[in-house]
């Protein structure tokens, strides 16, 4: 039985949490600030006098005070994807058509939500308590900013168990206009430079080292997505409604729509009303409402297929084109860059914009000293969309595209059918060499701790690297004397390199930088060829017949391995211990399902959908997202759409259940 002190502490915590929720989530204060502070002070005193009742999720812990000098970089348990963008009714109709085809039904319900312009965050709850808060990062890894997030009063630190006990919930950390304007007024009064825009200020706030400083900022959190293995809820709308009921700040603007026409009505409404919101928004997110269908539709490598963002018309302005410079990438591709007279656009100062390639320059007829129209593509990357010909001077002349590499002065080449020019000096062009090493050490490739892009440049400049295989020759005593380096930094680099020898084959293949071989293609090649020698010896015909490998990729692979310098690099990486064959745990358990294609649909008892798909691949089979003449089996679970069954029967595809699939193995 609880004693009197413990009972009072629990009562105060419960009351204060309720008052926080009423004020910061419901915008409905039920007591005065003075009364709230009296209760908080009483609780703080009781906790100080009785440390054995300390709780990291107590309302007293929201004031901050923790100092974090280096934020821990952690891997997301579930990838945080980006969203595909659309800009017209036609885009949305095409999207609807694609997803209906995947699941084989004629009609879907959608949810529409405003697209909040803030800093993405992933909150993990275990046993109803907030345990971690991690930034989006690159979608695979982010920074642990839990101590800072706990200062945001609209985020519940603990919830009742009527919702879910273990789950992730995602949203945007935002800075409402009122709070942003107040912060800037104080900065101006203190003679400081005002912050540029709410989004960047919110994002920067999450990385402040002192959580007490974060607590002073009027940050808020709007939540929009729950990730869970539970099948308790059937729809996206239902799960968000229940999340709101237990204390999460899920905006009420969410709407259920039965048709794309209703979706467009929602978009048109909020394209006007958004200017009256208390926070920034740049579009509408449309999602398939049924959670089961979301799983059926699945993901691309970068985005969910079951969701799409409709972006409001981008802000546009004009400025002067001062000159055009050229950048060379790690593959030798040349990108022209417009250098502009600085101009403010969508809250940021724009000085540069990509011109993509020579064809784009010719199409727009862009000339030096032109007045150009600039907008932010997808509200992120500035681009030139046209020229104000009325302001063009009579002495202007067409722009002459670069003929030589801006780095090594090698004459550029352009193959037939390719939009870009290339520098062919692959092993002598400094920028290409550094770019390939930077790609090699990047998170999605070898993910080498201790080495960043600036470190690569430093090592190259000091003649310690000429290619990425040289990384494994580095010694701590070579690194310590370099600028900004010390013994600890040097040791971290050596440890990071040693740890990278355990990185799996598919990431190593992506890391070595074969043109057109991205993450997804690398996985396909690894699964098919099992080791690097098989891949090196593959013919053009063999390569292009691999699943999803076309002629362009096949030619690029052959070209890479026909170069003796690349073969020497691979041989050296083999010798130092990198993984160039598929690991035992990734090797197929059997080939019983070889040459068979499956479509998985419905809910199963003995497998999750992902487990079922993995079992198919582990036994040599192939998964497909939609039914076609190439499909051999449809594995049907509970709640499978009737249209999918009809389509399978029409195509003569054998329909089996979970038990029949197990018997096949």
Region of 154 on the Ramachandran plot (φ > 0 left; ψ -120 to 50 alpha; else beta): alpha
Looking at residues 44-66, what average pLDDT do you find?
A: 75
Which pLDDT score, from 0 to 100, does residue 101 have? 85
Do residue 520 and residue 610 come from a single domain?
no
Among candidate residues 330, 362, 391, the one where a domain is terminated: 391
Do residue 162 and residue 205 come from a single domain?
yes
What is the DSSP-derived secondary structure letter of residue 390? G
Do residue 287 and residue 180 come from a single domain?
yes
What is the side-by-side strand order in the sheet with 220-227? 129-135, 119-126, 167-174, 220-227
Mean pLDDT of the chain: 88
Does some domain include residue 423? Answer: no
Which pLDDT score, from 0 to 100, does residue 380 have? 57
Do residue 251 and residue 321 come from a single domain?
no
Looking at residues 174-192, what average pLDDT do you find?
A: 85
Active site residue 115: yes
Q: What is the pTM of this model?
A: 0.68
Looking at residues 443-455, what average pLDDT do you find?
A: 89
Share of the chain above pLDDT 90, in %: 52
- The single residue listed with the structure tokens 């990729």 is 553
**Residues for the chain: how many in total?**
665
Which CATH number characterizes residue 53's domain?
1.10.287.610
What are 168's strand-pairing partners? 124, 227
Do residue 182 and residue 290 come from a single domain?
yes
CA atoms of 542 and 522, how far apart (whole Å): 16
Going by pLDDT thresholds of 50, 70 and 90, the confidence category of residue 379 is very low
Does some domain include residue 416? Answer: no
- Cα angle vertex 305, ends 300, 311, to 5°? 110
Looking at residues 583-588, what average pLDDT do you find?
A: 58
- The single residue listed with the structure tokens 């090698």 is 410
Name which of 493-497, 579-583, 590-594 the model is least confident about: 590-594
Which CATH number characterizes residue 649's domain?
3.40.50.10190
Which pLDDT score, from 0 to 100, does residue 432 have? 94
Does some domain include residue 420? Answer: no
What's the pLDDT tens digit per position in 598-607? Answer: 999 888 888 8
With H, G, I as helix, E, B as strand and everything else as coil, classify residue 379.
coil
Q: Which residues form the domain of 605?
A: 597-664
Report the Cα–Cα distance between both ends of the chain, in Å, rounded: 55
Do residue 285 and residue 347 come from a single domain?
no
Q: Which of 55, 41, 39, 56 minimizes the C-alpha distance to 6?
A: 55
- Residue 240 — φ and ψ, nearest 5°? -70, -35
Residue 186 has pLDDT above 50, yes or no: yes
What's the pLDDT tens digit per position in 1-49? Answer: 568 888 888 888 888 878 777 766 665 667 776 677 677 778 888 888 8
Do residue 100 and residue 172 come from a single domain?
yes
Share of the chain above pLDDT 70, in %: 95
Q: Report the chain's C-alpha Rg in angstroms.
A: 28
Structure tokens at 636: 């049907």
Residue 109 has pLDDT above 90, yes or no: yes
Among candidate residues 344, 368, 391, the one where a domain is terminated: 391
Which pLDDT score, from 0 to 100, does residue 589 have? 64
Beta strands in 512-613 (DSSP E): 597-601
Which pLDDT score, from 0 to 100, does residue 452 have? 87
Which pLDDT score, from 0 to 100, does residue 55 have? 78
CA atoms of 502 and 512, how far apart (whole Å): 15
Do residue 480 and residue 510 come from a single domain?
no
Please state the domain count of the chain. 6
Do residue 526 and residue 560 come from a single domain?
yes
Which CATH number characterizes residue 471's domain?
1.10.150.20
Which pLDDT score, from 0 to 100, does residue 582 have? 86
Which pLDDT score, from 0 to 100, does residue 421 have? 94
Q: Would you say 476 and 428 are in contact if contact means Cβ atoms under 8 Å apart?
A: no
Residue 594 has pLDDT above 60, yes or no: yes
Q: Which of 506, 473, 518 minimizes the C-alpha distance to 580?
A: 506
Going by pLDDT thresholds of 50, 70 and 90, the confidence category of residue 580 is very high
CA atoms of 247 and 234, how far apart (whole Å): 20
Does some domain include residue 184? Answer: yes
CA atoms of 78 and 101, how far apart (whole Å): 26
What's the pLDDT tens digit per position in 488-527? Answer: 899 999 999 999 999 999 999 999 999 889 888 898 899 8
Q: Would you say 637 and 603 are in contact if contact means Cβ atoms under 8 Å apart?
A: yes
Q: Which of 115, 249, 287, 647 is catalytic?
A: 115
Do residue 531 and residue 652 come from a single domain?
no
Among candidate residues 304, 325, 347, the one where a domain is terminated: 304
Pairing between β-strand 371-377 and β-strand 334-345 as defined by DSSP bridges: unpaired
Does some domain include residue 406? Answer: no
Do residue 497 and residue 511 come from a single domain?
no
For residue 617, count other CB atoms closer than 10 A to its CB.
Answer: 16
Does some domain include residue 418? Answer: no
Residue 314 has pLDDT above 80, yes or no: no
Does some domain include residue 404? Answer: no
Q: What are the angstrom distances between the C-alpha of 398 and each of 49, 340, 395, 514?
A: 78, 17, 10, 36
What's the pLDDT tens digit per position in 605-662? Answer: 888 777 888 889 888 888 887 788 889 999 998 878 777 888 888 899 999 999 999 9
Is 111 exposed, middle or buried, given 0-12, 13-18 or 19+ CB atoms closer than 10 A?
buried
Going by pLDDT thresholds of 50, 70 and 90, the confidence category of residue 367 is very high
Do residue 128 and residue 261 come from a single domain?
yes
Which pLDDT score, from 0 to 100, does residue 591 have? 80
Those residues with Cβ within 8 angstroms of residue 97's Cβ, 6 or more apart along the chain or in another chain: none
Does some domain include residue 532? Answer: yes
């Amino acid at each position: 039985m609880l004693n009197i002190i413990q009972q009072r502490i629990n009562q105060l915590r419960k009351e204060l949490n309720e008052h926080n929720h009423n004020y910061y989530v419901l915008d409905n204060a039920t007591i005065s600030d003075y009364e709230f502070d009296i209760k908080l002070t009483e609780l703080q005193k009781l906790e100080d006098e009785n440390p054995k009742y300390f709780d990291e999720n107590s309302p007293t812990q929201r004031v901050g005070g923790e100092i974090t000098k280096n934020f821990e970089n952690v891997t997301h348990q579930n990838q945080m994807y980006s969203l595909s963008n659309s800009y017209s009714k036609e885009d949305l109709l095409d999207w609807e058509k694609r997803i209906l085809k995947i699941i084989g039904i004629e009609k879907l319900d959608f949810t529409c939500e405003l697209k909040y312009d803030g800093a993405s965050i992933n909150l993990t709850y275990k046993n109803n308590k907030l345990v971690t808060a991690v930034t989006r990062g690159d979608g695979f890894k982010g920074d642990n900013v839990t101590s800072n997030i706990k200062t945001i009063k609209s985020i519940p630190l603990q919830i009742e168990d009527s919702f879910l006990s273990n789950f992730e919930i995602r949203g945007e950390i935002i800075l409402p206009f009122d709070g942003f304007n107040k912060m800037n007024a104080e900065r101006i009064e203190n003679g400081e430079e005002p912050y540029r825009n709410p989004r960047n200020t919110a994002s920067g706030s999450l990385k402040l080292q002192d959580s007490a400083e974060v607590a002073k900022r009027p940050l808020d959190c709007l939540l929009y997505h729950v990730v869970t293995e539970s099948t308790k809820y059937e729809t996206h709308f239902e799960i968000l409604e229940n999340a709101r009921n237990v204390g999460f700040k899920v905006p009420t603007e969410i709407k259920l729509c039965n048709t794309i026409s209703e979706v467009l009505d929602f978009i048109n409404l909020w394209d006007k009303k958004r200017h009256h919101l208390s926070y920034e928004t740049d579009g509408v997110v449309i999602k398939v409402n049924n959670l089961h269908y979301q799983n059926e539709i699945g993901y691309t490598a970068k985005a969910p297929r079951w969701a799409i963002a409709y972006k409001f018309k981008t802000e546009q302005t004009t400025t002067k084109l001062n000159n055009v410079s050229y950048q060379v990438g790690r593959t030798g591709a040349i990108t022209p860059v417009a250098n502009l007279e600085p101009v403010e656009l969508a809250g940021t100062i724009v000085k540069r914009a990509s011109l993509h390639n020579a064809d784009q320059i010719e199409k727009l007829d862009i000339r030096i000293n032109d007045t150009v129209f600039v907008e932010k593509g997808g509200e992120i990357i500035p681009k030139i969309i046209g020229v104000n010909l009325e302001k063009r001077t009579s002495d202007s002349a067409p722009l002459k595209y670069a003929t030589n590499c801006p780095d090594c002065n090698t004459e550029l080449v352009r193959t037939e059918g390719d939009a870009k020019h290339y520098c062919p000096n692959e092993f002598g062009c400094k920028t290409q060499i550094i770019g390939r090493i930077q790609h090699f050490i990047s998170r999605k490739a070898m993910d080498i701790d201790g080495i960043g892009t600036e470190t690569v440049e430093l090592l190259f400049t000091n003649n310690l690297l000429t290619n990425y295989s040289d990384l494994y020759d580095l010694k701590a005593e070579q690194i310590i004397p370099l600028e900004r380096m010390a013994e600890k930094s040097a040791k971290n680099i050596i440890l990071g390199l040693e740890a990278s020898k355990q990185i799996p084959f598919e990431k190593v293949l992506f890391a070595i930088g074969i043109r057109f071989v991205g993450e997804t293609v690398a996985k396909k090649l690894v699964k098919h060829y099992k080791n690097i020698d098989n891949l090196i010896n593959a013919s053009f015909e063999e390569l292009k017949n691999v699943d999803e490998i076309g002629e362009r990729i096949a030619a690029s692979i052959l070209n890479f391995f026909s170069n003796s310098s690349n073969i020497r690099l691979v041989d050296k990486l083999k010798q130092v211990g990198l993984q160039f064959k598929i690991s035992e745990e990734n090797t197929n358990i059997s080939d019983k399902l070889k040459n068979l294609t499956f479509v998985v649909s419905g809910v199963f008892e003995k497998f999750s959908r992902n487990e079922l798909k993995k079992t198919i691949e582990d036994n040599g089979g192939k998964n497909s997202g939609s039914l076609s003449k190439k499909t051999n089996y449809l594995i049907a679970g509970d709640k499978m759409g009737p249209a999918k069954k009809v389509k399978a029967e029409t195509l003569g595809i054998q329909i089996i259940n979970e038990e029949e699939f197990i018997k096949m193995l």
